[in-house]
Amino acid sequence: MNPITLVFISLICISVLKFIYSIIWIPRRIQNHFKRQGVTGPGYRPLFGNSAEIRRLFEEAKLKPASVDHHGILHRVAPFYHKCSGVYGTPFLYWFGSKPRLGISDPGMIKEVAMSTDGSFEKMRLTPCPRSSWDKDFLD
């Protein structure tokens, strides 16, 4: 066989193995690590994580009428959190692609995460939504 072909096939094999390692092996290790600590959650789905379920629950919540009580608001604003905290308790582990996320509600734990500056916790950066015409009319 041609040496260039062997190098090319080797590079493809290495790329496939790296992909499998990062998309399947590492998330499974993370999930098992948290399971040993008693933190469970919805199962990992390769490539997409729990994104499809999160999107589906938001769409279902939009179709239901809004309620004024606390439980109705939580179910409408954060339906995935509402469902998972009821099923798995808090904290629970869920996935955005192959990246793990913890859903927490304990005020002490939230304060620890929010005040941490040592880089132990990766904080999600939120991008502000552009103001809609309704916001301009209402706020101005």
| CB half-sphere exposure, 28, CA atoms < 13 A | 7
- Give the per-residue pLDDT at 140: 46
At 99-132, the pLDDT tens digits run 898 888 888 888 888 888 887 777 767 666 655 5
* Domain contains 134: no
Angle between helices 79-88 and 70-77 in degrees, nearest 10:
110
* Domain contains 130: no
* Domain contains 74: yes
Look-up: residue for tokens 């499809």? Answer: 52
- Examine the pLDDT at 89 and tell me if it is beyond 50: yes
* Domain contains 139: no
* Domain contains 132: no
* Domain contains 111: yes
- Give the per-residue pLDDT at 16: 94
Mean pLDDT over 4-19 rounds to: 93
Residue 49's domain spans which residues?
Answer: 3-116
CB-based contacts of 17, cutoff 8 Å, min separation 6: none
* Domain contains 16: yes
Q: Is 55 helix (H, G, I), strand (E, B) or coil?
A: helix
Domain count, the chain: 1
Instruction: For the chain, state the CA radius of gyration.
Output: 21
- Give the per-residue pLDDT at 122: 75
CB-based contacts of 133, cutoff 8 Å, min separation 6: none
* Domain contains 121: no
- Give the per-residue pLDDT at 110: 86
Backbone angles phi, psi at 98, to 5 degrees: -100, 10
- Give the per-residue pLDDT at 132: 54
At 37-81, the pLDDT tens digits run 999 999 888 888 888 898 999 888 888 877 766 666 777 888 888
